[in-house]
Structures are given as structure tokens and as C-alpha cells.
């Protein structure tokens, strides 16, 4: 997740903490997401214990959940999937 060029100049624990906070902010259930004031406290204080993040609302990548996909469903960069389904 981290750029190899930044490895020497970045505190890995701090990076992982920021990633964890980011995952908390994009949880599927809006009521599980922290408030902005909570995020500020989490960013400023290492003493705050972070909860385990739940599933994110949106995920980019090869994530298969409910639908069977085929190779032709992937975009050119293989990052997005478009499935056309009638309503």
C-alpha cells in the first residue's frame, strides 16, 4: 500500500494508523463511521484505541461477492467491473 520510495522517510506505524482511520471513515453502515471530531482526536492522539473496521461501502479491485464475473467484465486496467442488470 505504501510507495517504496517513501518507506525510509515514513513511520510505518503512523501510516498504518492513518490507513486504519481511513477505513473506519468508509464503513458501509454510516452509523459505524466516526464523526469528524472523533477523527481529529484519533489523528492527534495515539492513546485512542481504534475499533476494527467493518466492510467498506465501495471497494475497487477484484472483489467477488454476489455476482459471478467473467474476464470480459473487467475494464482495460482490470480495476473496475461494470455489470449491466435490469431493474
pLDDT tens column, 29-70: 889 999 999 999 999 998 899 999 988 877 665 545 555 555
Q: Does pLDDT of 21 surpass 90?
A: yes
Any residues with CB less than 8 A from the CB of 36 and at least 6 apart, and which?
none
Position 3 scores a pLDDT of 81
Position 73 scores a pLDDT of 53
- How far, CA to CA in Å, does 31 sit from each of 6, 25, 43, 47, 60? 34, 10, 20, 23, 22
Q: Is the dihedral angle over the CA atoms 74, 75, 81, 85 positive or is it negative?
A: negative
Cell numbers at 41, concatenated: 482526536
Compute the mean pLDDT over every residue in the chain, rounded to the nearest whole number.
78
Extents of the domains making up the chain: 4-56
How far apart, in whole angstroms, are the C-alpha atoms of residue 8 and residue 3?
A: 10
Mean pLDDT, to the nearest integer, of 70-86? 60
Position 10 scores a pLDDT of 85
Amino acid at each position: 500500500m505504501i510507495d517504496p520510495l517513501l518507506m525510509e522517510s515514513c513511520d510505518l506505524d503512523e501510516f498504518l494508523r492513518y490507513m486504519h482511520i481511513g477505513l473506519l471513515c468508509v464503513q458501509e453502515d454510516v452509523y459505524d463511521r466516526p464523526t469528524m471530531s472523533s477523527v481529529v482526536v484519533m489523528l492527534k492522539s495515539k492513546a485512542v484505541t481504534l475499533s476494527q473496521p467493518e466492510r467498506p461501502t465501495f471497494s475497487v479491485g477484484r472483489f467477488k461477492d454476489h455476482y459471478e464475473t467473467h474476464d470480459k467484465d473487467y475494464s482495460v486496467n482490470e480495476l473496475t467491473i461494470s455489470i449491466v442488470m435490469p431493474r
